[in-house]
Structure 1
Amino acid sequence: MDSETARRNHRDEVDRRRTFAIISHPDAGKTTLTEKLLLKGGAIHEAGEIKARKANRHARSDWMSMEQERGISVTSSVMQFKHRGFALNLLDTPGHRDFSEDTYRVLTAVDSVIMVLDVASGVEEQTRKLMEVCRLRDIPIITFVNKLDRFGLPPLEILSDIEETLALETVPLSWPIGMGDRFRGTYNLYEDELHLFSHADMQGEHERLAIDSLDDERLDDILGEQADELRFDIELVREAGDSLNLERYRDGIQTPVFFGSALSNFGVGDMLDTFVDIAPPPQPRPTTTRTVDPNEEAFSGVVFKIQANMDPRHHDRMAFVRVCSGQFERGMTVTHSQSGDTMRLNNATAFMAQDREGVERAWPGDIIGIMNHGTLKIGDSLCAGDPVEFTGVPSFAPEHFRKVHLEDPFRAKHLGKGLTQLSEEGAIQVFRPLRGNDYILGAVGELQFDVVLARLEDEYNVDARLSGVNYTCCRWIEGDPTIVEAYESDEISNLFRDASGALAYLGLSTWRLERMMEDWPELNFKKTKEHVTTELATS
């Protein structure tokens, strides 16, 4: 193959990839929508298979059984499937708000997002938080308003809620005809088609009817009095609403909106067809020195997630790597940018939910898993050409804090190892005071503490307990080294090092934090930082 043909093939592989995540508030229908997308892509063959796969995974690990017992999901997974010749990489995310930091990091690895809203609730708290992260990268968003076969908020109120709460322009590409027991289907404004819903056929493809215009008499025959309601709504939407602008959508300013019912498999196909048409292919990604284009010849990738001990018998550590440029090939040698060491990638895997299979090659946008023994950490970069270090994989200031107490002091090294590895995953943040040897754990959500205790016991044979502390906020400190040194000397009792060695202030109140910031205006008190982790001291 000549070089020009190779470049053209590479561009074709990049252009047909879509790497995305689904975000929602718990119980909005994210898992159901994921399942229906995989059914359409042929990645699973029957409803309920995703839940069955999760159940099998739970059985392999005690801490995963916590997910079953509490009815929550605390880990992310990767699923690849095909649709209309496109290769889709779907990154599933935790559904519980206490594990949203894992979702934040997953969002750094995608090029677009599908946002699921419950028609009865509109925009909810977790959705607002996740949207804040999407805005950091101007991620394009398609909205799917779910559960139209139940009664909920009027469609115009849903659109108004999105625009006012999330500051997004809305462009409805389908419009519901009634809801609840009056739900008759949707009108596809993108294709000028009527899609009819059958309450009797909950899993069918549902009937589609192409019509010449809304004046078509067949609307009256099929919809009765709801035909005039539909005509009024569509005229209002077209007169007052915005038109789809591909550039504004891809800039994260405008969101196309679809209405449907994931449980009934209604509206999912319309949304997916439009998604593959308009969602962006893999995008350029920033590094500390330059922007890396996916069409570059040299392979590069970034670690956005670590999962340790997926199989406790082998204490395996899987690094999830987003391919950013070039082509991955099994057995290739790459440079670990952070250490300068070389690695031979012989055993990379591709994902279908929790199933793994060896991968011979992968392209920008694809996600590969690399087994390692702690060498790779969140935020690390792998390169076959000139080393680069990708940016934009954040840690967020924790909001909840606990002090660790070790029941057996002879297990101190095991405790340090366990906390090191769990912090590498991003499961928890670990702080040690500049004066003293206590471990202080920080978390975005309180349920993270329960998971950490369970995993310390099950995976590291460490019996620990946690007690409350008075800290309420955290900020990382950056600034001129001379000023930072003076600050450390004056405020040593309030200062800590995190697992990466970064200096952090843990405050007893927001008022004290504000006073601290006023007293030290030359310093930066940061709520986020790039995710880097090193070995914790165990002294």
Structure 2
Amino acid sequence: MSVDTADAPRQGSGAAQEAARRRTFAVISHPDAGKSTLTEALALHSQAISSAGAVHGKGDRRGVTSDWMAMEQDRGISITSAALRIDYEGRVLNLLDTPGHADFSEDTYRVLSAVDCAIMLLDSAKGLEPQTLKLFDVCRARKMPVITFVNKWDRPGREPLELLDEIEQRIGLRPTPLNWPVGIAGDFRGLIDRRSDGQYTKLTRTPGGAKKALEEPMSAEEAAETEQEAWTQSQEEIELLEALGADFDVESFLAGESSPVLFGAALSNFGVGQLLEAVVNLAPAPAAKEDVEGKPREVGKPFSGQVFKMQANMDKNHRDRMAFVRVSSGRFERGMVLTHAETGRPFATKYTQAVFGSDRTTIEEAFPGDVIALVNAQALSVGDTLYDGPKVVFPPIPSFAPEHFAVARAVDAGKYKQFQRGIAQLDAEGVVQVLTSDVRGEQAPVLAAVGPLQFDVVRHRMAEEFRSPIEASPLEYSVARRTDEDSAPGLHSLSGAEVLRRRSDGELLVLVNNKWRLRVIERDHPELFMEALLAGGVEENA
């Protein structure tokens, strides 16, 4: 039952109708495919911003809306995910930008647990890259619909039919182009809309790409006269697509079996408007979410939501801790007193905000599919459930299998309290996993990461935010497995292995030098329990 005794539990009155207006999606890609640039371009086309912040490339990224962290702006990469709420033509679009670099893929995985659809962004010259493949595996495991956007068509690249063939052959996803480029990659003339009797739109670059590209509709006759050989080639390619039956099918798209494909250039704002329309018209609205028992929590039920991300110090003036919650059901009203499922304790929501990059505004209500940011959420952690009315607990969000390990120590022993507070905060956010043991002690925790760049983030934030610079000394381990109390002493006594406890949940992990040593231990000590962790959203192969 609800802990808010002043009122009856808020029923989901109108929640189902409001959920139908929502589209909650993420952009996934390999690094440098143009993901943050596309995020800016989508915000520009929806009129959420007046000028794209990423149009000048990495040399001038301080204007980028989604990359708000100083380290992101300095390095020109996305390190943490960002949530952008956009109102567009009667719809509410919740766009979750994610890190593209493989070292931050765990943050991307958490974001994918909070969306209903993904935009898979491909570089026209490089096609499917390793990180794109890993992220698609996560989407496939979740049976998540995927819209493909082939980016950078204004630069030299590969043949469009070759890219479609690669998508189908390498990931088994049947591509169904919604539009088709006129002009080869690097000579981008315009786009043919395959769903509207071949309507052609000629595109003209705006100065610097800061504004929407100029679009000029043309008849087929005008296009043939203007574009000549490029038009003829595009018509031949479209005839081939029709012969192959590469037409959009909504059922196979929603089942994760096919992907609508669009071509464009985010930096020049070519084709971004068509992508935005595809998200609005094709991406699924929020649906019922299954709880830990496999029972669906319908969107019209009283409020429930799950924390998918923690972030501290977004506002340097207040040093707050913010929990990002995906609303799963019901209507949220600011000031509600919810129940924290993991502790059974009440959680007040007096300070609730909507986030647009680093800008924040107070939010009074939210509905399924929306992302709300709860301020001063010290009691919450990633994966926690909040609810009103009948109790619900959603499945936890798994952690990735770390592959890099380092011992953290405070440079200045006089700042040990700041050191403790900072390490605890970064652990709660999921920036790294923090492991401890009685042998090493609290003053020398082990940081466990998917990639080494995570250690750079920890060093930067510990020095800048918590005023406690650290040393992070690498350890000679590369494999982690889950173990139990019975097996821990035996594993800890073996050479090339060490047992530590995960600070966040108390789970025991055994760290091993390498996979060769792991196989030897498994062969010689079959009685000792070791279990694989998640890697890339699927079970790790030993």
Give me the TM-score of the superposition, normalised by structure 1: 0.88
- Contact 2:206–2:214 (CA<8 Å) still a contact in 1? no
Of 150-159 and 288-297, more deviation after overlay is shown by: 288-297
Change (3 A) 1:391 1:53: farther
Offset of 1:524 from its aligned partner? 5.3
Among 447, 460, 465, the residue aligned to 1:454: 460
Q: Structure 1, residues 88-143: CA drift from partner, whole Å, max 9, x if none?
A: 00011123332222111111111001111110111112212211221221111101
Distance, in Å, in 1 between the alignment partners of 2:230 and 2:72 is 44
Offset of 1:43 from its aligned partner? 0.8
Change (3 A) 1:122 1:392: farther
Q: Which amino acid aligns with 1:335?
A: T
**Structure 2: 5+ residue stretches without partners:** 1-10, 56-60, 538-542
Among 460, 465, 473, the residue aligned to 1:467: 473
Q: Which amino acid aligns with 1:92?
A: D
- Contact 1:108–1:392 (CA<8 Å) still a contact in 2? no
Distance, in Å, in 1 between the alignment partners of 2:106 and 2:489 is 32
Distance, in Å, in 2 between the alignment partners of 1:56 and 1:196 is 29
Q: Tell me which residue corresponds to 2:449.
A: 443
Distance, in Å, in 2 between the alignment partners of 1:200 and 1:69 is 27
Q: Which amino acid aligns with 1:123?
A: L
Q: Which amino acid aligns with 2:384?
A: D
- 1:478-517 alignment runs, 5 A limit: 484-493=484-493, 494-499=498-503, 500-517=505-522
Change (3 A) 1:234 1:56: closer
Q: Tell me which residue corresponds to 1:105.
A: 110
Distance, in Å, in 2 between the alignment partners of 1:434 and 1:132 is 38
Q: Tell me which residue corresponds to 1:535.
A: none
Question: Does structure 1 residue 288 correspond to structure 2 residue 288?
Answer: no
Question: Does structure 1 residue 306 correspond to structure 2 residue 310?
Answer: yes
Q: Tell me which residue corresponds to 2:248.
A: 244
Q: Which amino acid aligns with 2:342?
A: Q
Question: Does structure 1 residue 319 correspond to structure 2 residue 328?
Answer: no
Q: Tell me which residue corresponds to 1:481.
A: none
SS, match of residue 44 in structure 2: helix
Distance, in Å, in 2 between the alignment partners of 1:490 and 1:309 is 42
Q: Which amino acid aligns with 1:44?
A: I
Change (3 A) 1:339 1:528: same
Q: Which amino acid aligns with 2:302?
A: A
CA RMSD for the aligned pairs?
2.5
Offset of 1:486 from its aligned partner? 3.3
Offset of 1:249 from its aligned partner? 0.9
Offset of 1:199 from its aligned partner? 5.0
Among 401, 406, 428, the residue aligned to 1:402: 406
Change (3 A) 1:55 1:248: closer
SS, match of residue 520 in structure 1: coil
- Contact 2:149–2:262 (CA<8 Å) still a contact in 1? yes
SS, match of residue 465 in structure 2: helix
Distance, in Å, in 1 between the alignment partners of 2:231 and 2:287 is 43
Of 104-113 and 408-417, more deviation after overlay is shown by: 408-417
- Contact 1:139–1:251 (CA<8 Å) still a contact in 2? yes
Distance, in Å, in 2 between the alignment partners of 1:180 and 1:488 is 57
- Contact 1:115–1:141 (CA<8 Å) still a contact in 2? yes
Which structure's relative contact order is higher, taking Cα pairs within 8 Å and 6+ residues apart? 2
Q: Structure 1, residues 317-358: CA drift from partner, whole Å, max 9, x if none?
A: 000011000000111111000010012211111122221111
Question: Does structure 1 residue 359 correspond to structure 2 residue 367?
Answer: no
Q: Tell me which residue corresponds to 2:84.
A: 79
- 1:155-304 alignment runs, 5 A limit: 155-180=160-185, 182-192=187-197, 193-198=199-204, 203-209=212-218, 217-304=221-308
Offset of 1:406 from its aligned partner? 3.2
Question: Does structure 1 residue 415 correspond to structure 2 residue 419?
Answer: yes
Q: Tell me which residue corresponds to 1:70.
A: 75
- 1:366-381 alignment runs, 5 A limit: 366-381=370-385
- Contact 1:292–1:324 (CA<8 Å) still a contact in 2? no
Distance, in Å, in 2 between the alignment partners of 1:399 and 1:375 is 29
Q: Tell me which residue corresponds to 1:536.
A: none
Q: Tell me which residue corresponds to 1:340.
A: 344
Change (3 A) 1:233 1:507: same
Offset of 1:387 from its aligned partner? 2.3
- 1:23-172 alignment runs, 5 A limit: 23-48=28-53, 51-54=61-64, 64-172=69-177
Q: Which amino acid aligns with 1:445?
A: G
Number of aligned residue pairs: give it. Answer: 509
Distance, in Å, in 2 between the alignment partners of 1:53 and 1:70 is 14
Distance, in Å, in 1 between the alignment partners of 2:47 and 2:274 is 17
Distance, in Å, in 2 between the alignment partners of 1:227 and 1:491 is 67
Distance, in Å, in 1 between the alignment partners of 2:374 and 2:22 is 21
Q: Which amino acid aligns with 1:207?
A: E
SS, match of residue 486 in structure 1: coil
Give me the TM-score of the superposition, normalised by structure 2: 0.88
Distance, in Å, in 2 between the alignment partners of 1:487 and 1:272 is 53
Distance, in Å, in 2 between the alignment partners of 1:230 and 1:456 is 54
Change (3 A) 1:526 1:24: same
Change (3 A) 1:227 1:405: closer
- Identity, in percent, stands at 42
- Contact 2:25–2:96 (CA<8 Å) still a contact in 1? yes
Distance, in Å, in 1 between the alignment partners of 2:228 and 2:67 is 49
Flag the structure with higher helix content. 1
- Contact 1:400–1:444 (CA<8 Å) still a contact in 2? yes
Q: Which amino acid aligns with 2:401?
A: A
Q: Tell me which residue corresponds to 1:480.
A: none
Runs of 4+ residues over 6 Å off in structure 1: none
**Structure 1: 5+ residue stretches without partners:** 1-5, 59-63, 212-216, 478-483, 532-539
Change (3 A) 1:313 1:219: closer
- Contact 2:39–2:66 (CA<8 Å) still a contact in 1? no
Offset of 1:241 from its aligned partner? 4.0
Q: Which amino acid aligns with 2:145?
A: P
- Contact 1:78–1:92 (CA<8 Å) still a contact in 2? yes
SS, match of residue 281 in structure 1: coil
